[in-house]
Amino acid sequence: MDLKQIHELIKIINKSNIGEISIEDKDGKVTIKQKEEPAVNVTAAPSHQVFTTAAPSVASAPAQVTAPAAAPAPAPKADNLITVKSPMIGTFYRRPSPDKPILAEVGSEITPGKVVCIIEAMKLFNEIESEVKGTIVKVLVEDASPVEYDQPLFLVEPA
C-alpha cells in the first residue's frame, strides 16, 4: 500500500463514522484510528421543514433550555437508574410532529414497546421504543438536537 492510498483512507475515515480500520496485505499492515470527539461537535443540517415551528423556539430562546430543570422530580436513587440510549445517529425529537403531544416526559410511565421518541436519520423518522418498564426521571437531550449512536437519551427508574 503506497502513501497516496493511505492518505485517501485517512480522508475517508475522517468523513465517516468509522472509528478504526486495519488493512493487511503482502507488504504489511496499516491501522488507522479516528480521534474520539464529544457528541457536541456533531454538525447537523438546518432544521427539517417538518419541524420548522419547533426548532426556532429552541434556538432563539436559550432561557427555555433551563426551564425543564426548574421542575425537578423527587431525588431518584442514582444507583438503580437505567439509561435509554440512542440506537442510531440522527436528530432527536420528543414528539412525532409539531402539533402532537410529547411522547415521553419526566414522570411518564413507560413499558417495553412504548414509543419514547423519534430519531430522524436520512429523512426517515424512526420510532424508538422502550425496552424497559419504569418511570422517566430525566430527559438528557434537547428536542430537535443531533444525537450519536449509543448516546444516553433518558434516565428511567425501573418499576
Residue 42, pLDDT score:
46
> What is the rounded average pLDDT for all residues in the chain?
77
Highest mean pLDDT among 3-12, 33-42, 76-85, 97-106: 97-106
Question: How far apart (Å, rounded) are the C-alpha atoms in residues 146 and 25?
Answer: 38
CATH number at 39-158 = 2.40.50.100
More confident residue, 139 or 39: 139
| 115-156 pLDDT tens trace | 999 999 999 999 999 999 999 999 999 999 999 999 999 999
* pTM, two decimal places: 0.52
Every domain range in the chain assigned CATH 2.40.50.100: 39-158
40 — pLDDT class (breaks 50, 70, 90): very low
